């Protein structure tokens, strides 16, 4: 690598070249590193060669981003907890919370509080009935009561002049409203009993909208299908043919490690820069809504709001606390906020703040747990021992060199060698193999070989206490 770099961290100037890495470190082979660049703020093409959508155009009507919030995981939330979350969601470009509710006794306290705090913060919410809990005869009475109680509130999200009401599931045995296999008719009857019309957008994944006349729109839960999948396109087109709207799901990952039977022990593959590539594909598709899965589903690891002490984390054979605590995801929320703006405006926004993000798992795929009560999760074999990096570079930032250290390996590159990077307004994607060790560091330098920022990650262990295929994520602004 020849060149000797220098960098400044906390006021100390240090040598930074081939000879300054940790003793015994070895260079990562360049052919193991993938670098992709989205260089032009008017170029909406995704980074992968397999995706070539048409450039986005400004939206003629509003687009909305929702975040799915599991009330059962926030049963002990107080007013300030809700206010803090709602303010954070607003800053991240989220328009409303979809409040997932079962038949919890805490609904009577939490739902009035949620609507009250949303009103105080000029935020919006809507009810999303978890049909796992409304599949018994007579459940519709409770659904009607809740809709008529809260839909008239000021904080209720409205669409087409009607309060939006959603569900999780309801289209599979055991989850039918009132235990009625003709769930479409059951919901049609429920809507007819209400004293006002609603915009009904259930999550009935895989159902042909032509067969369910009770709906006004539809949400899919299929957030983890491959980026190249045509399912979102099919959902949107089928609904559009009926003059109805599609809510596309978006999620950063999925990992559940609670039990061998009841709650499950498995993951869905979300390798590479899955959440970024999926969001860009959805921007090209341009659905009416995007629902982020999720704000706080800690059991399934796709939370974007890190748990505070008042959060209620699921448990069974093991507790989700073991694979969620100290595994922050709010850096991913910050990353998604840029794409929220892109989606809602219809054109890629100029990058105003330079930021670097990284996420990775904290033990190798084939590591053996010391004391886990469960085996490695189903799906573990498809994961990759890599860290994934996304760098948003503003025109004002003079980024040129990147150094990555992982355990006893290091990688260094001069971005001037990448032709598409020369516009200096770029989304830069990097994947690099990780190695076991405490040292997980990304350092960014300007052309004068001075550090712009240093992102220090969590160490990677070869002997985890439990199997944890959740992501650790971090970010810096530079």
For every residue of 308-332, DSSP letters joined together read: PTT----BSSSBTHHHHTT---HHH
Nearest to 232 by CA among 294, 172, 279: 279
Q: Are strands 12-16 and 26-27 parallel, antiparallel or unpaired?
A: unpaired
Res. 213: pLDDT tops 70: yes
Q: What is the pLDDT of residue 326?
A: 97
Burial of 338 (0-12, 13-18, 19+ CB in 10 A): buried
Q: Is the pLDDT of residue 56 over 90?
A: no
State the pLDDT at residue 422: 67
Q: With 80 as the cut, is the pLDDT of residue 36 above it?
A: yes
pLDDT of residue 255: 98
C-alpha distances in Å from residue 462, one per residue of 1, 376, 384, 432, 469: 30, 14, 15, 18, 13
392-410 confidence digits (pLDDT tens): 999 999 999 999 999 999 9
* Phi, psi of 150, rounded to the nearest 5 degrees: -105, -25
Measured CA to CA, the distance from residue 183 to residue 236 in angstroms comes to: 22
d(CA 434, CA 181): 50
* CA atoms of 123 and 110, how far apart (whole Å): 16
Domain end residue (candidates: 315, 345, 375): 345
Domain contains 81? yes
Same domain, 31 and 70: no
Report the 10 Å Cβ neighbour count for 145: 10
pLDDT digits (tens, 9 = 90+) for 428-462: 999 999 999 999 999 999 999 999 999 999 999 99
Query: What is the per-residue pLDDT for 22?
Result: 58
Q: Is the pLDDT of residue 52 over 50?
A: no
Domain boundary among 322, 345, 368: 345
Q: Is the pLDDT of residue 12 over 70?
A: no
Measured distance CA(91)–CA(73) in Å, rounded: 22
Take residue 34 and report the two structure tokens written for it.
């993938």
Q: Is residue 173 packed enough to be buried (19+ CB in 10 Å), middle (13-18) or exposed (0-12)?
A: exposed
List phi, psi (to 5°) of 291: -115, 120
Beta strand 34-38 pairing with 426-433: antiparallel
* Residue 58, in any domain of the structure: no
Q: How far is Cα 60 from Cα 425, in angstroms, rounded to an integer?
A: 26
Angle ∠(77,80,86) on CA atoms, nearest 5: 90
Going by the DSSP 8-state scheme, the letter that residue 365 receives in this structure is T
Between CA 312 and CA 101 the distance in angstroms is 14
> Is 253 a member of any domain?
yes
CA of residue 341 relative to chain centroid, distance? 15
* pLDDT tens-place string over residues 288-317: 999 999 999 999 999 999 999 999 999 999
* pLDDT-derived band at 161, boundaries 50, 70, 90: very high
User: Measured between alpha carbons, how far is 238 from 240 in angstroms, rounded to an integer?
Assistant: 6
- The pLDDT score that the predictor gives to residue 217 is 99
What is residue 475's three-state secondary structure? strand
Among residues 345, 362, 380, which one ends one of the domains? 345
Q: 139, 71, 65: which is closest to 100 by C-alpha?
A: 71
pLDDT value of residue 18: 38
Mean pLDDT of 126-130: 99
CA distance 249 to 230: 14
Rounded distance, CA 51 to CA 278, Å? 10
Q: Where are the alpha helices (DSSP H) in 199-329?
A: 231-240, 274-285, 321-324
Any idea which of 59-63, 361-365, 464-468 has the lowest mean pLDDT? 59-63
Whether residues 471 and 328 share a domain: the answer is no
Same domain, 392 and 357: yes
For 394, the domain range is 5-44+352-477
Pair (99, 9) in one structural domain? no
pLDDT at 40: 58
Same-domain status, 266 and 207: yes
| Tally of domains within the chain | 2
Calpha distance 133→104 (Å, rounded): 9
Start-to-end CA distance of the chain, whole Å, equals 25
User: Residue 50 falls within a domain, yes or no?
Assistant: no
Count how many Cα atoms sit within 13 Å of the Cα of residue 339 in the half-sphere of its side chain: 26
User: Do residues 40 and 172 share a domain?
Assistant: no
Confidence of residue 21 (pLDDT cuts 50, 70, 90): low
Residues 329-388 pLDDT 10s: 999 999 999 999 999 999 999 999 999 999 999 999 999 999 999 999 999 999 999 999
Q: Indicate if 357 and 410 belong to the same structural domain.
A: yes
Confidence at 27, pLDDT banded by 50, 70, 90: confident
pLDDT for the residue numbered 423? 61
Alpha carbons 396 and 404: distance in angstroms, whole number: 23
Buried (b) or exposed (e) across 409-442, using 16+ Cβ within 10 A?
Answer: bbbbbebeeeeebeebbbbbbbbbbbbbbebbbb
Residues 159 and 175 in one domain: yes
């Amino acid at each position: 690598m020849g060149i000797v770099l220098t960098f400044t961290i906390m006021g100390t100037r240090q040598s930074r070249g081939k000879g300054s890495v940790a003793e015994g470190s070895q260079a990562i082979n360049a052919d193991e590193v993938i670098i992709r660049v989205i260089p032009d703020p008017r170029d909406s093409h995704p980074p992968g060669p397999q995706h070539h959508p048409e450039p986005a155009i400004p939206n003629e009507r509003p687009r909305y981003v929702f975040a799915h919030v599991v009330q059962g995981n926030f049963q002990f939330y107080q007013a300030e907890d809700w206010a803090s979350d709602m303010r954070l969601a607003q800053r991240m470009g989220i328009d409303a919370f979809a409040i997932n509710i079962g038949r919890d006794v805490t609904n009577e306290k939490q739902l009035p509080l949620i609507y009250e705090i949303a009103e105080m913060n000029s935020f919006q919410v809507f009810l999303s009935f978890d049909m796992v809990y409304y599949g018994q005869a007579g459940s519709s009475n409770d659904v009607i009561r809740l809709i008529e109680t809260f839909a008239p509130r000021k904080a209720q999200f409205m669409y087409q002049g009607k309060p939006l009401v959603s569900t999780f599931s309801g289209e599979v045995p055991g989850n039918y409203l009132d235990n009625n296999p003709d769930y479409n008719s059951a919901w049609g009857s429920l809507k007819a009993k209400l004293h006002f019309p609603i915009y009904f957008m259930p999550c009935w994944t895989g159902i042909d909208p032509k067969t369910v006349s009770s709906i006004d729109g539809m949400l899919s839960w299929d957030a983890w299908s491959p980026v190249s999948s045509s399912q979102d396109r099919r959902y949107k087109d089928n609904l559009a043919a009926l003059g109805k709207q599609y809510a596309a799901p978006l999620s950063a990952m999925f990992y559940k490690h609670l039990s061998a039977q009841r709650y499950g022990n498995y993951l869905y593959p979300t390798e590479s820069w899955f959440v970024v590539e999926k969001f860009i594909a959805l921007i090209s598709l341009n659905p009416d809504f995007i629902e982020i899965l999720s704000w706080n589903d800690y059991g399934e690891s796709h939370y974007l709001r890190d748990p505070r002490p008042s959060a209620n984390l699921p448990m069974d054979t093991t507790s989700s606390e073991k694979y969620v605590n100290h595994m922050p995801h709010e850096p991913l929320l910050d990353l998604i906020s840029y794409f929220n703006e892109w989606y809602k405006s219809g054109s890629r926004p100029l990058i105003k703040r330079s930021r670097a993000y990284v996420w990775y798992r904290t033990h190798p795929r084939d590591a053996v747990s010391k004391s886990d009560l469960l085996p490695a999760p189903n799906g573990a074999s498809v994961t990759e021992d890599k860290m994934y990096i996304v760098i948003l570079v503003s025109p004002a930032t003079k980024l040129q060199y990147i150094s990555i250290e992982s355990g006893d390996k290091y990688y260094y590159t001069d971005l001037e060698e990448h032709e598409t990077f020369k516009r200096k307004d770029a989304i830069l994607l990097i994947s690099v193999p990780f190695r076991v060790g405490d040292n997980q560091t990304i350092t960014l330098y300007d052309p004068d070989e001075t550090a712009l920022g240093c992102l220090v990650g969590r160490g990677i262990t070869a002997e985890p206490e439990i199997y944890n295929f959740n992501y650790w994520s971090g970010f810096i602004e530079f």
